[in-house]
């Protein structure tokens, strides 16, 4: 994803105004993923008919990690246990892919039936700690749906965590109003804390909901 550089003074706008502008702008843009490690991902060999979701043939445990929640408490591997987690990385100054994807995830969550929705949680991780405090990331995520969990951390913790999920990010430039290139795929983590698969872009709420519903119904607590 190649993010346009925000105009000077952008960061001083109220966060709701920034988000509204970003969502409108994102609707007219083509989603592009700079790079992602899919070398070990293969289409599911099960009877499920999935849209853009690819499942790992041998899900591996997510390594231990600790990020910072919006309320200041730690987010660890234990917080992923018991629910299917849909994890997306991004940053609050993102003008296109981030607001579009979070809007899609929020809409998909609403489309899930009661049983599936209680088995799924959405996690947004900001990979721009210089500008995004955990609190700011939380405000940003809550704009789309208050149920979305938000977290961030310093790069020393973020980089190994994102790599372990097959996701990558990097500053696009060194200017004051820099962008961040990052993976546009959504990582699926199973209730037993395993890296289970990826939902590849482009994302549509209906298709995401159908894929998630199928995975939850087929695998339950994981495999």
The answer on whether 10 is annotated among ligand-binding residues is no
| Rounded Cα–Cα distance for residues 107 and 199 (Å) | 15
Q: What sign has the CA pseudo-torsion 77, 79, 84, 86?
A: negative
197 forms beta bridges with: 55, 188
Task: For residues 32 and 26, give the distance between their C-alpha atoms in angstroms, rounded to a whole number.
Answer: 12
- Work out whether strand 149-152 and strand 66-69 pair parallel, antiparallel, or are unpaired: antiparallel
Residue 155 labelled as part of a binding site: no
* Greatest CA separation for the chain: 52
The terminus-to-terminus CA distance of the chain in angstroms comes to 32
Handedness of CA 145, 147, 153, 158 (dihedral sign): negative
Element (H, E) at 97: helix 97-111
Annotated binding residue 182: yes
Residues 6+ apart with CB under 8 A from 178: 5, 171, 172
Which residues make up each annotated binding site?
94, 98, 182
Q: Which residues are annotated as a binding site for Cu cation?
A: 94, 98, 182
């Amino acid at each position: 994803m190649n993010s346009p550089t925000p105009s000077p003074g952008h960061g001083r706008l109220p966060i709701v105004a920034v988000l509204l502008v970003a969502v409108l702008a994102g609707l007219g843009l083509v989603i592009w993923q700079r790079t992602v490690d899919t070398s070990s991902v293969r289409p599911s060999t099960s009877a499920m008919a999935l849209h853009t979701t690819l499942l790992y043939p041998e899900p591996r445990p997510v390594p231990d990690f600790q990020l910072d929640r919006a309320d200041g408490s730690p987010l660890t591997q234990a917080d992923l246990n018991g629910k299917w987690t849909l994890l997306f990385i991004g940053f609050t100054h993102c003008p296109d892919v981030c607001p579009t994807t979070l809007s899609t995830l929020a809409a998909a969550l609403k489309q899930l039936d009661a049983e599936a929705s209680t088995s799924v949680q959405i996690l947004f991780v900001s990979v721009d700690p210089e500008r995004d405090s955990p609190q700011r990331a939380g405000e940003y995520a809550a704009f789309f749906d208050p149920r979305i969990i938000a977290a961030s951390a310093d790069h020393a913790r973020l980089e190994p965590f994102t790599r372990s999920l097959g996701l990558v990010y990097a500053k696009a430039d060194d200017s004051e109003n820099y962008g961040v290139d990052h993976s546009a795929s959504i990582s699926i983590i199973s209730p037993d804390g395993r890296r289970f698969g990826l939902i590849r872009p482009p994302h549509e709420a209906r298709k995401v909901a159908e894929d998630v519903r199928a995975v939850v119904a087929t695998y339950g607590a994981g495999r």
